[in-house]
Amino acid sequence: MPLRQARDALSRMFYQRCFYLFVMLLVLITAVPFMPGSDEGRFLTNAINVFVIVSTVAAVGRTMLSFVIVLLLAGPMLLFQWIGLQNDSDLWLVRSWMFGAGLYLVSTVYLLQYVFRPEVMTADKLFGAAAGYLMLGVLWGYFYAIYGHFHPKSFMVLGEPATLDVYDAVYFSMTVLTSTGFGDITPLVRQARAICVVEQITGALFAAILIARLAGVYPPQGREVR
């Protein structure tokens, strides 16, 4: 079956699947904002995005169902993004963001299911947890960008009401997720603030649950083994 062969080929290529995903997410978050707005910059941005999607498919496509679901979300995301960038169309970009949000949501769920299995904690699972944390930041970045498109001027950027693009939205999302709060971007309306609150709660719960999971791997010192 072609789909099964493709999934097995990705598994062999990305032996430490979550590690490659973690690295590509770091590249996406840190390198893409430095890309120029030219056609070459757009090409490099799309290339990085493709590598992120391939790493995501390899990391979470451990079953045929998850592999197919991620492919069905990744395909339209990349296609709509390419059409939007080629035609300078916000409508197609928003459609790409919607599929991107769905992709990151599904991928985060599958990653967390893998990380929190009651099995031995491996290095791949630790990288999976780190990748899941970064995915939460990118996911909420898509939420902010989509909300900002339909409700312009919902955020204050450097003292002026503005609409966030996806890169500023991801940056703002990371400050909210980590509770950094630089204050250069702030929500102006209650709905945007509600999205921020949910992200803050999610980030705090993620850290708490991960620590509890790691603590459960090791038995308490001094307990006799019977």
Higher per-residue confidence, 143 vs 31: 143
Q: Name beta bridge partners: 155.
A: 162, 187
Helix, strand, or coil (residue 155): strand
Helix, strand, or coil (residue 182): coil
Residue 195 near residue 140, CB atoms below 8 Å: yes
User: pLDDT tens digits, residue range 153-190?
Assistant: 889 988 888 888 888 898 999 999 988 878 889 999 99
pLDDT at 225: 45
129: how many CB neighbours lie within 10 A of its CB?
A: 23
Residue 172 near residue 155, CB atoms below 8 Å: yes
User: The whole model's pTM is what?
Assistant: 0.83
Residue length, the chain? 226
